[in-house]
Chains A and B, each alone.
Chain A
């Protein structure tokens, strides 16, 4: 889509005006053209930070906006479904933090590995999953990311994306995607951090030009296993980027109450770190490009993303007993990551109607996903006893009806 005045458009099409002249004199711009945006300067620990000017284009921003908007709508839908009791159990929403994962994806490829905590619905999306897979997993349906087996915290996409995330087996915390190297989705706080170091080791061992991203929060930053992982990563120069999504509250505990040092980007001691405005997707992108290059050449680096979650820790937490409503609404008004991109697009002349059309299409996608998930089937009972072991144990399992079943192994869940 080109933004041109009518006359230049005519002349340009007629080939009478070369593009360079057009660009120089008529403020016309193609959506793939690059322009620069200034972001908040980065704070650095034991490293020279990149400059705070980010190159982007309309095309890129549109893509980012669509993803972030989709994340936002999906999480809002999840909120409503939870209140309607269609989603049960634990559900940790990401709205407010969209810029972090979107910015990370902008700097990575699907050959890079990502692992995160239970706040993982949007990571599943950004790694190529669909809203339907997430929704179905949250509702515990077999079309879900982990076949309905993992739930919210454990979103994964299985082989060939049959159905959804974890087939309804993982639930909210357990979403995974093998093709996109998304290792989930982890319920236990901090457990994913050493796993991330292991992912990086494998990538380095295979001499791949890829990094592992190990994401965790400000609460998890006080876990012992994080320091074990940092030490190993530092010792062996692993290409792992430790991303601390600092939304300033570990459940209901403010960062300063839980941490002696809440400058999380410095807590790697000998491992360098950067602090990034996590509400600005372009800042995140720039810093992650820098981090990836650094990690591939030198080894681990810590990225502290200064971000915010609008919802409470989970759907069981109103989120307002330990923060003021003022704080939340100020964040929404002044630093909302989705709104920021929208404003930038409009300022650069992007058509407001096109934005509206895209938003409408995203809303429709989310609504459809919700409806389809509601109608989807729950995992069949036999799946309870499937895939505990490869060679099923020599043990019959008694069912409620009094019959016995043999545990099975079939990671494709073909039946």
Chain B
């Protein structure tokens, strides 16, 4: 907001600070550049695309990712295709859409969904998911500066639970690059967002109990994803486990497994496995049963290693 006077922050309730306090203080510091919109997701994103084509840097908030669907058409058909269809005349690249996503313990059907895979299927968009505060700052700034439209999914469970030192001042984390959180030899575990912490716990558990050495990758950007880092890791370990909260079928794990299977086929020691949410609507009381928790990941690690 300081360095770019064409940056605007808008969405439902952002002016008072937002339902997750992400925009606290912006109204006071930047006045009219941080403003509330009415309750109309399709309008919010469409409006943002219009601004972007005029060279503005709109940072639109969708209050919960579960509500992003009315804006799906705008994102897929307008934002993603503007430059392509106009032969480079216009671009919606200045647009960044932020949305809290993911399980939070009691969110039920409409405050818990993971929607990333719908958007990773859209050429023209970028999809980014941080897993910690320091990641969030660097990745968000990269999205805002990125010349393509970006969707930034913030794992809401981590707003309160994830605490770390964050460097003051501006810095960016490159998009399209995964980060290795733990080096290992026996199996590659890939996740993003809050699930990365589940993988880290599982990795420690099997290290302690079974002496299995896991390499944990935080993908960070899903579209485009870091093919090099992933294949390098799987070529080293020979095994792959992908885990996400979103339902199993056609979740983003499917893309990773398909591509790794092709590229690393001869190196693989075991079939790549996905540990994911059930193919059901996100439940209310059954949330612990639905989610890919540490126990399920551990089971899958052991089964894969012993294949």
Which A residues form the contact surface with B (CB < 8 A)? 88-90, 140, 148-151, 153-154, 168-171, 173-174, 187-190, 219-220, 222-225, 250-253, 257-259, 321-322, 378-379, 381, 383-385, 388, 393, 395, 397-400, 402, 407
How would residues 271 to 301 of chain B score, 1 for a CB under 8 Å from any chain A CB and 0 otherwise?
0000000111101111011100101100100
Please indicate the chain A residues that have their CB under 8 angstroms from the CB of B42 in the complex: 224
Question: Would B286 and A383 count as touching, CB distance under 8 A?
Answer: yes
Within 8 A of A (CB), among B244-270: 249
Those 8 A-B pairs whose CB atoms lie nearest each other, nearest first:
A187-B110, A140-B285, A89-B106, A222-B38, A384-B286, A88-B106, A258-B38, A171-B284
How far apart sit A219 and B36, CA to CA, in the bound complex (Å)?
13
Please indicate the chain B residues that have their CB under 8 angstroms from the CB of A259 in the complex: 38
Please indicate the chain B residues that have their CB under 8 angstroms from the CB of A153 in the complex: 108-110
**Mostly helix, strand, loop or mixed at chain B's interface?**
loop
B303 to A, closest residue via Cβ: A402
Knowing A171-B284, A173-B108, say if A381 contacts B13 (CB, 8 Å).
no
A321 to B, closest residue via Cβ: B16
Q: Is B111 an interface residue (CB 8 A)?
A: yes
A330 to chain B minimum Cβ distance, whole angstroms, is 24
Q: Is B40 an interface residue (CB 8 A)?
A: yes
Question: Would A398 and B296 count as touching, CB distance under 8 A?
Answer: yes
Please indicate the chain A residues that have their CB under 8 angstroms from the CB of B67 in the complex: 188-189
Question: Would A225 and B110 count as touching, CB distance under 8 A?
Answer: no
Question: Would A223 and B289 count as touching, CB distance under 8 A?
Answer: no
Question: Would B279 and A393 count as touching, CB distance under 8 A?
Answer: yes
Knowing A90-B108, A187-B109, A219-B39, say if A225 contacts B70 (CB, 8 Å).
yes
A31 to chain B minimum Cβ distance, whole angstroms, is 44
Question: Would A258 and B296 count as touching, CB distance under 8 A?
Answer: no
A405 to B, closest residue via Cβ: B278
How far apart sit A224 and B69, CA to CA, in the bound complex (Å)?
13
B13 to chain A minimum Cβ distance, whole angstroms, is 6
Knowing A253-B36, A400-B289, A400-B293, say if A170 contacts B110 (CB, 8 Å).
no
Knowing A168-B285, A170-B284, A381-B286, say if A89 contacts B107 (CB, 8 Å).
yes
Please indicate the chain B residues that have their CB under 8 angstroms from the CB of A251 in the complex: 12-13
Please indicate the chain B residues that have their CB under 8 angstroms from the CB of A322 in the complex: 16
Q: Which of B43, B110, B290 touches A188 (beta carbons < 8 Å)? A: B110
Q: Is B78 an interface residue (CB 8 A)?
A: no
Question: Would B109 and A154 count as touching, CB distance under 8 A?
Answer: yes
By CB atoms of chain A within 10 A, which of B38, B290, B293 has the most? B38
Q: Is B66 an interface residue (CB 8 A)?
A: yes
Which B residues form the contact surface with A (CB < 8 A)? 12-13, 16, 36, 38-40, 42-43, 66-67, 70, 105-111, 249, 278-281, 283-286, 288-290, 293, 295-296, 299
12 pairs, A vs B, C-beta closer than 8 Å: A90-B107, A148-B284, A148-B285, A171-B108, A187-B66, A222-B38, A224-B40, A251-B13, A253-B36, A385-B278, A388-B279, A395-B249
Please indicate the chain B residues that have their CB under 8 angstroms from the CB of A168 in the complex: 284-285
Please indicate the chain B residues that have their CB under 8 angstroms from the CB of A173 in the complex: 108, 110
How far apart sit A407 and B249, CA to CA, in the bound complex (Å)?
14
Please indicate the chain B residues that have their CB under 8 angstroms from the CB of A399 in the complex: 289
A226 to B, closest residue via Cβ: B40
B296 to A, closest residue via Cβ: A400
A315 to chain B minimum Cβ distance, whole angstroms, is 11
Question: Would B107 and A384 count as touching, CB distance under 8 A?
Answer: no
Knowing A257-B36, A395-B249, say if A169 contacts B278 (CB, 8 Å).
no
B109 to A, closest residue via Cβ: A187
Please indicate the chain A residues that have their CB under 8 angstroms from the CB of B16 in the complex: 252, 321-322
Question: Would A378 and B296 count as touching, CB distance under 8 A?
Answer: no
